[in-house]
């Protein structure tokens, strides 16, 4: 078994290391997110993906503090929400997120969506945030190739990641190549299509072959592509299952079959409508 990907960190274009699998936390609040973070830490997760709009930064911060987790041992991502975009508001938004997370810095701060009138001034604030060490790295989310090209024309800093919806059913090859050409890593969100394709016969068949679940096959597809993956679960068994993916490797035939499922099935909003 050559090149078996381990549960290791990936190095971003600014030298910062990011754990390959992060716990998605969208739609988890209160006790549910506290418990999920605790279970995830026990299962080996060291990377947590949140956003101000998720309304759970406080609970995540509380849990990490109460468990006595060393700050340098974990990787926290948050995102500036659309209502907070623009230079001044973004500068305020990071402070509010840091206060809720009870930390001096996030490991990664993202522009959540590429708003037409505000993404440039928002990105200028992101650079200030990075320079001021309130974020160890900065990146974007939901950027199309056009948005990336536009940003690269005026930015002195290359985003470290583009967090996008990407699965075998929405394999945005051109966007991936475009990001790769700038050394921007892909973070795969909704990697399980929110559970909507777990009974797809091809995925089930591949899972049986490796004695793995459909969720594990989808997560492994992302890893084989070199993406960082952000599966969300509030269930202890499924949280553990989703990180138990480092003991098998999908062969090229199965990867080709998964690639062939590409059919523009999108679970989230389509950012190409944002000019």
Q: Which residues form the catalytic set?
A: 54
Give one DSSP letter per residue of 151-173, joined into a string: HHHH-SS--SEEEEE-BTTB--H
Interaction of residue 235 with ligand NAP, rule CB under 6 A:
yes
Q: Which stretch binds ligand NAP (CB under 6 A): 38-46, 94-102, 126-134, 230-238?
A: 230-238
Neighbours of 257 (CB within 10 A): 16
Which H helix or E strand runs over 253?
Answer: helix 252-259
Please say whether the beta carbons of 22 and 47 come within 8 A: yes
Q: How far is the CB of 241 from ligand NAP (least distance, A)?
A: 5
CA distance 12 to 157: 13
Among 19, 61, 159, 191, the residue binding ligand NAP under the rule CB under 6 A is 191
- Of the pair 1, 63, the CB lying nearest ligand NAP is at 63
Q: Which stretch binds ligand NAP (CB under 6 A): 37-45, 122-130, 131-139, 191-199?
A: 191-199
Q: How far is the CB of 66 from ligand NAP (least distance, A)?
A: 21
**Rg of the chain on CA atoms, in Å:** 18
Interaction of residue 20 with ligand NAP, rule CB under 6 A:
no
Please say whether the beta carbons of 110 and 139 come within 8 A: yes
Among 63, 213, 220, 225, the residue binding ligand NAP under the rule CB under 6 A is 213
Interaction of residue 90 with ligand NAP, rule CB under 6 A:
no
CA distance 168 to 75: 26
Among 231, 243, 245, 250, the residue binding ligand NAP under the rule CB under 6 A is 231
Closest CA to 110 of 134, 141, 85, 144: 141
Closest CA to 188 of 222, 157, 215: 222
Interaction of residue 232 with ligand NAP, rule CB under 6 A:
yes
- DSSP one-letter code for 142: S
Residue position matching structure tokens 């394709």:
197
CA distance 8 to 21: 9
Among 90, 163, 172, 222, the residue binding ligand NAP under the rule CB under 6 A is 163
Instruction: Draw the binding track, 28-67, toward ligand NAP (x: CB under 6 A; -: no contact).
Output: ---------------------x------------------
Interaction of residue 215 with ligand NAP, rule CB under 6 A:
yes
Cα angle at 19 between 147 and 173, to 5 degrees? 35
Interaction of residue 189 with ligand NAP, rule CB under 6 A:
yes
Q: Which stretch binds ligand NAP (CB under 6 A): 86-94, 152-160, 227-235, 249-257?
A: 227-235
Which positions touch ligand NAP (CB under 6 A)?
24-26, 49, 112, 141-142, 163, 189-195, 198, 213, 215, 230-235, 238, 241-242, 268
């Amino acid at each position: 078994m050559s090149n078996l990907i381990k549960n290791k960190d990936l190095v971003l274009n600014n030298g910062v290391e990011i754990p390959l699998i992060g716990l998605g936390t969208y739609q988890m609040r209160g006790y549910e997110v506290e418990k999920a973070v605790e279970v995830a830490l026990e299962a080996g997760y060291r990377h947590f993906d949140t956003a101000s709009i998720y309304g759970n930064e406080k609970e995540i911060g509380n849990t990490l503090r109460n468990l006595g987790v060393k700050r340098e041992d974990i990787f926290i991502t948050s995102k500036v929400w659309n209502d907070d975009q623009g230079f001044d508001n973004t500068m305020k938004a990071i402070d509010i997120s840091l206060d809720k997370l009870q930390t001096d810095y996030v490991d990664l701060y993202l522009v959540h969506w590429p708003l037409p009138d505000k993404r440039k001034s928002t990105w200028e604030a992101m650079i200030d945030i990075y320079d001021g060490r309130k974020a160890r790295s900065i990146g974007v989310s939901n950027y199309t190739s056009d948005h990336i090209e536009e940003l690269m024309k005026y930015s002195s800093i290359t985003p470290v990641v583009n967090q996008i919806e990407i699965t075998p059913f929405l394999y945005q090859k051109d966007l991936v190549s475009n990001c790769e050409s700038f050394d921007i890593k892909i973070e795969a969100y909704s990697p399980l299509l929110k559970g909507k394709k777990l009974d797809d016969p091809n995925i089930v068949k591949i899972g049986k072959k490796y004695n793995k679940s459909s969720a594990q096959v989808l997560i492994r597809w992302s890893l084989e592509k070199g993406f960082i993956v952000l599966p969300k679960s509030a269930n202890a068994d499924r949280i553990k299952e989703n990180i138990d993916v480092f003991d098998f490797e999908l062969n090229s035939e199965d990867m080709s079959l998964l690639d062939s499922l590409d059919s523009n099935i999108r679970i989230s909003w389509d950012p190409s409508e944002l000019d």
